[in-house]
Chains A and B, each alone.
Chain A
Amino acid sequence: MGPKTIDNKQVISVNLLYDEKLDGPLPPVDKAGLINELRQTLPDLELLHEREDLQPYECDGLSAYRVMPLLVVMPETVEQIETFMKICHQRQVPVVARGAGTGLSGGALPLEGGVLLVLARLKNILEVNPEGRFARVQPGVRNLAISEAAAPYQLYYAPDPSSQIACSIGGNVAENAGGVHCLKYGLTVHNLLKVEIVTVEGERMTLGSDALDSPGFDLMALFTGSEGMLGIVVEVTVKLLPRPQVAKVLMASFDDVGKAGKAVGDIISAGIIPGGLEMMDNLAIRAAEDFIHAGYPVEAEAILLCELDGVEADVADECERVRQVLENSGATAISQAKDDAERALFWAGRKNAFPAVGRISPDYYCMDGTIPRRELPKVLQGIADLSAEYGLRVANVFHAGDGNMHPLILFDANQEGELERAEAVGGKILELCVAVGGSITGEHGVGREKINQMCSQFNDDELLTFHAVKAAFDPDGLLNPGKNIPTLNRCAEFGAMHIHNGELPFPELERF
């Protein structure tokens, strides 16, 4: 079977579904026995096991990958989760945790032989403390709901992934979610004070503290972004920041993508850290303009959107300095949003770039690589060359400030061979990111989607170290098996192993 596309234009590749031969054997589960024990021990725990009830949970935001879970459980209390995990541990049942299910890399993709632990019902905001500038929330609380709850105090929670209206904080912790304001305000890992975990054995453990640090190893940093592989997040205390007094957006047009890339470096060199700094190329500009009518210059080869926020006096000063930098960098036009409505419109074009591209192509494949910014011209040229070589258009959208690229590869799955070409281009773009010192994923996570690309970013010893970390917290491999870190067997299979002098490392390992 070859790969195919499904409704929302993402790519499926059958070889990415859990394969015990490559991903390791899974324990057999006595479904009836498990249901029985859960019902007896946790009579109030909602439990779904009929096929039609399970269907809504067969995928996360990467809906091209679908697997029917063995069971879905929907706890409403932490105590239920503790007992549930104890039962699963005792019976050796794999568990996949899921929040709102908006993740783009298949991190919450269920397992046929595992339980899907849905945390969406734990959605209470337990405390908003304006003097202490923190909020304590349950894992199913939506990212945006935290900022809404903090708004009466002129405070907010800074990380803002584009799915923030729907994504939940537990998932944000699991993925170390980013957003468009990361350069200045950091990722999820920078905005946490304390995370409560239920371990694979069903014990409750506190990472971090109400103080700014805690004794021992920084396990909170280790757990952030660990994709549900080390423990279940059951409560999160986040930092709140005072809302900036003002925010202004400048839009600059360029007749050359390289000049726009250089302008980004020039702004930083001037000692300015914008709240947001985004770049789009011509194809993305045209698609967004057609869709949103944001007032984008459709003839430009690239635009930069630069948001400056803070205290009014500083922002006015910075706007002036950025304008000068942009002029010196060869911008062909510069405009500043005259009011908040126009500012919102400028951003709407950028935030809707993905659906906008979806309107001009039957299918597209979204990448999430990061690179050192200085490599931008080289990587863009590489992408353009790949685009020409494979005969597929690529629209480029970047979080330019922090080097996080989202190239969108346009293709038509109904045309013979286009999907394979799109996958090939995608793989080569990520390899290009790794080659210039970047990463295969900046913010979407590895999940199941990029499990094979992990083999090009890390060597076997590094992967073995990751497996060692996993073994310290989940020696039986019951938490989210098959995600995030590939087995060496999988890497061998996909030919991305690093071969020294013609010799494979670990010759004693069985190969498939």
Chain B
Amino acid sequence: MSAQHEHAHRPGERAASASEQQLQQQVLDALHSNTPLAIQGANSKAFLGRPVDGQVLDTRGHSGIVNYDPTELVVTVRSGTPLVELLAALDDQGQTLTCEPPTFNGQATVGGMIAAGLSGPRRPWSGAVRDLVLGTRVITGHGKLLRFGGEVMKNVAGYDLSRLMAASFGQLGVITEVSMKVLPKPVSSHHLRLELPVERALLKLAEWGQQPIPITAASYLDGHLHLRLEGGVGSVRSAADRIGGEELDAGFWTQLNEQQLDFFQDPRPLWRLSLPPLTAELELPGASLLDWAGAQRWLKSDAAAEELQALASRHGGHATCYRAGVTDSPFQPLTPLLQRYHRQLKKQLDPQGLFNPGRMYPGL
């Protein structure tokens, strides 16, 4: 088998670039020698998931924006492209990725952003990484370079394999290219903080959430609710007048997103609890910070994984460890039924178990 034989036979379809063919050849070689691959860009999210014993497949040689037409609201970019490079190109046109992905000190690649599926403070209001994904080019477990989805907003032909790739931690294929929906940056923004007890903050957030108030970030830390308002000039001004509080430096959100706030310097392992939005303040074994209007809670804790995951589960959510090596189950274990379908899906798409084996769960 040779990478050169791949398609470009459909009208309008691009042939594989040299760097894409190189990635494909590496997968073909790995298939041939039955060598597992550890897919990575800058490896900026090495703290997430289980260790992978495999030969490194580095995507960073496959870099660059392939197609960006701001009036289409779509960008197509190679997976090895630094995320900051993409964000800068979008910013030049007054646009952005609304899921606000963290760049991890500017290291993260676009492929890693998709594969890890981490979204920033704007997530509850503007959607997750997977919500922006329109199409992907993927090297499969059979060594084929295939295209799913496309560069259009609406496309219901076939199964949505592109969105499935988001947050699959490279376990279902090597993403070589992704097409995403982009949106204009808001015309106006205002950042503020309010001193109030956490219970009261959660109540206010539930109340504001039912009204057309342009909140796009809400975090509770050190006795203060931190809010970001974004939208048209009029709506931001009237919401700011109504809510009051003291002005906040916009840099707070970047520090939160990049885990640079003092809170994150605590030496204990970092945990992320994903909970139903209305979950009341919990007694957590450690220091905590609320984000996503309470739907995402960061916790610095030495508590056992089982304890934290059971606690999250009791409240209808799940817990993830953000430090490698603390537990063998950094992601909340799945029900036996879900586990079975995960394994069957992995087996179908990656029959040789080539891609990031065990990164999410043992045996997957």
A330 CA / B214 CA spacing, docked (Å): 33
Closest approach, in angstroms, between the C-beta of A309 and any C-beta of chain B? Answer: 9
B33 in contact (CB, < 8 A): no
Number of B residues, CB within 8 Å of A: 91
A271 CA / B94 CA spacing, docked (Å): 8
Residues 276-297 (chain A) with a chain B CB within 8 angstroms: none
Residues 185-222 (chain B) with a chain A CB within 8 angstroms: 185, 187, 206-207, 209-212, 214
Q: A213 contacts which of B168, B171, B274 (Cβ < 8 Å)?
A: B274
Q: Mark A240-268, 1 if CB is under 8 A from B, else 0.
A: 00111100000000000000000001101
Q: A317 contacts which of B131, B232, B349 (Cβ < 8 Å)?
A: B232
A443 CA / B348 CA spacing, docked (Å): 28
In the complex, what residues of B have CB within 8 A of residue A374's CB?
69, 71-72
In the complex, what residues of A have CB within 8 A of residue B142's CB?
461
In the complex, what residues of B have CB within 8 A of residue A484's CB?
158-159
Closest approach, in angstroms, between the C-beta of B137 and any C-beta of chain A? Answer: 11
Q: B146 contacts which of A130, A312, A446, A465 (Cβ < 8 Å)?
A: A465
Closest approach, in angstroms, between the C-beta of A202 and any C-beta of chain B? Answer: 11
In the complex, what residues of B have CB within 8 A of residue A145's CB?
none
Query: Are A209 and B318 interface neighbours, CB within 8 A?
Result: yes
Query: Are A441 and B156 interface neighbours, CB within 8 A?
Result: yes
B148 in contact (CB, < 8 A): yes
Q: B277 contacts which of A203, A212, A245 (Cβ < 8 Å)?
A: A212
Query: Are B147 and A462 interface neighbours, CB within 8 A?
Result: yes
Interface with B: A62-70, A119-127, A429-437, which one? A429-437
In the complex, what residues of A have CB within 8 A of residue B317's CB?
209-211
A135 in contact (CB, < 8 A): no
A472 CA / B340 CA spacing, docked (Å): 9
A211 CA / B294 CA spacing, docked (Å): 10
Query: Are A498 and B161 interface neighbours, CB within 8 A?
Result: no
Assuming the A-B contacts A216-B360, A466-B159, are A268 and B332 also in contact, with contact meaning beta carbons closer than 8 angstroms in the complex? no
Query: Are B160 and A211 interface neighbours, CB within 8 A?
Result: no
A-B pairs under 8 A by CB, number: 292
Residues 298-332 (chain B) with a chain A CB within 8 angstroms: 316-318, 320, 331-332
Interface with B: A31-39, A53-61, A450-458, which one? A450-458
Residues 177-218 (chain A) with a chain B CB within 8 angstroms: 178, 182-183, 186-187, 189-190, 199, 203, 205-206, 209-218
A434 CA / B151 CA spacing, docked (Å): 11
A333 in contact (CB, < 8 A): no
Closest approach, in angstroms, between the C-beta of A106 and any C-beta of chain B? Answer: 14
Residues 283-330 (chain A) with a chain B CB within 8 angstroms: 310-318
In the complex, what residues of B have CB within 8 A of residue A473's CB?
341, 344-345
In the complex, what residues of A have CB within 8 A of residue B275's CB?
211
Query: Are A446 and B318 interface neighbours, CB within 8 A?
Result: no
Closest approach, in angstroms, between the C-beta of B215 and any C-beta of chain A? Answer: 11
A273 CA / B276 CA spacing, docked (Å): 29
Residues 11-67 (chain A) with a chain B CB within 8 angstroms: none
Q: B235 contacts which of A178, A272, A313 (Cβ < 8 Å)?
A: A313
Q: Mark A355-368, 1 if CB is under 8 A from B, else 0.
A: 00000000000000
Q: Mark A91-124, 1 if CB is under 8 A from B, else 0.
A: 0000000000000000000000000000000000
Query: Are A500 and B5 interface neighbours, CB within 8 A?
Result: yes
Query: Are A175 and B160 interface neighbours, CB within 8 A?
Result: no
In the complex, what residues of A have CB within 8 A of residue B12's CB?
434-437
Query: Are A459 and B9 interface neighbours, CB within 8 A?
Result: yes
Query: Are B146 and A443 interface neighbours, CB within 8 A?
Result: no
Query: Are B5 and A439 interface neighbours, CB within 8 A?
Result: no
Assuming the A-B contacts A218-B163, A269-B71, are A442 and B348 also in contact, with contact meaning beta carbons closer than 8 angstroms in the complex? no
Assuming the A-B contacts A216-B342, A314-B231, are A437 and B151 also in contact, with contact meaning beta carbons closer than 8 angstroms in the complex? yes
Closest approach, in angstroms, between the C-beta of A160 and any C-beta of chain B? Answer: 14
Query: Are B277 and A468 interface neighbours, CB within 8 A?
Result: no
- Minimum CB distance partner of B331 in chain A: A215
A495 in contact (CB, < 8 A): no
Residues 136-191 (chain B) with a chain A CB within 8 angstroms: 140, 142, 144, 146-148, 150-161, 163-164, 166-168, 171-172, 183-185, 187
A3 in contact (CB, < 8 A): no
A347 in contact (CB, < 8 A): no
Q: B212 contacts which of A242, A317, A445, A458 (Cβ < 8 Å)?
A: A242
Query: Are A402 and B94 interface neighbours, CB within 8 A?
Result: no
In the complex, what residues of A have CB within 8 A of residue B290's CB?
none
Interface with A: B20-28, B37-45, B53-61, B120-128, which one? B120-128
In the complex, what residues of B have CB within 8 A of residue A417's CB?
none
Query: Are A178 and B71 interface neighbours, CB within 8 A?
Result: no
Closest approach, in angstroms, between the C-beta of A442 and any C-beta of chain B? Answer: 4
Closest 8 CB pairs of A and B: A313-B234, A314-B232, A271-B184, A442-B154, A311-B235, A221-B163, A265-B71, A402-B153
20 A-B pairs whose Cβ atoms sit less than 8 Å apart in the complex: A133-B209, A190-B127, A211-B274, A213-B167, A215-B320, A224-B160, A230-B159, A271-B94, A271-B185, A310-B235, A313-B234, A314-B233, A372-B152, A434-B11, A437-B150, A437-B151, A442-B156, A457-B157, A468-B349, A500-B5
Q: A222-B159, A437-B12 given. 12 additional CB < 8 A pairs?
A: A131-B210, A153-B210, A190-B127, A215-B334, A217-B342, A218-B117, A245-B212, A371-B152, A437-B151, A437-B152, A444-B156, A472-B349
